[in-house]
Amino acid sequence: MAYRVLIVDDSPAMRSFVRRVMELSGFDLSVCFEAGDGGEALKVLRSEWVDAILTDINMPGMDGEELLRRLSEDELLRAIPAIVISTDATSSRMDRLATLGARGYITKPFVPEDLRAVLERTLGDPNA
């Protein structure tokens, strides 16, 4: 199956890294949209459907928490699984993100297997 994903991170290098790890993990990406913050992500989602959103938290402009809040308030967009990739591993942050509807949480630094495991739980095994 080919997936359509949206990667939201203010770091172009990190967006490239996540995309590369997904492809190396066997996820066939038919389309990979990129956005530099939550506002850009919502703009993409106004015209494009995706199977999953992978988002950073600390971003200039609209941050990841606000993006999750906006997604949870939208009847259509709340169905898209959102996975958070962040350096912030504090318990208060993780609790808050779970409340906002994050389906998965990956703490940087991570090894490719960590990302693959969370994606498989969310999207299914790409090799099944």
Partner 1 sequence: MPETQFQRALRDSVQEVLERMFFVEPVEEPPGEAGSPDGELAVRVAFEGRPSGTLTLRVATAAACQIAADFLGEDVSELPPARVEEVVCELANMICGSVLSRVESSTAFRLASPRLLPAEERPHCQEATDRRAVHAVAIGSGTLTASVETRDPVCPVVEESAS
Which residues of this chain interact with partner 1, rule CB under 8 A? 10-14, 16-17, 20, 58, 60, 86-93, 96, 107-111
Q: In terms of Cα–Cα distance, which of 55, 56, 62, 107 is closest to 80? A: 55
Choice between 32 and 45, CB closer to partner 1: 32
CA-CA distance, 106 to 73, in Å (whole number)? 23
Distances (CA, A) of 78 to 12, 29, 33, 50, 82: 26, 21, 18, 12, 9
Smallest distance from the beta carbon of 75 to partner 1, in angstroms? Answer: 29
Among residues 51 and 63, whose Cβ is nearest to partner 1? 63
Least distance (Å) between residue 88 CB and partner 1? 6
| Residue 8 burial (CB count, 10 A) | 30
Closer residue to partner 1 (CB): 77 or 106: 106
> Taking the complex as a whole, how short is the minimal distance between the CB of residue 115 and partner 1, in angstroms?
11
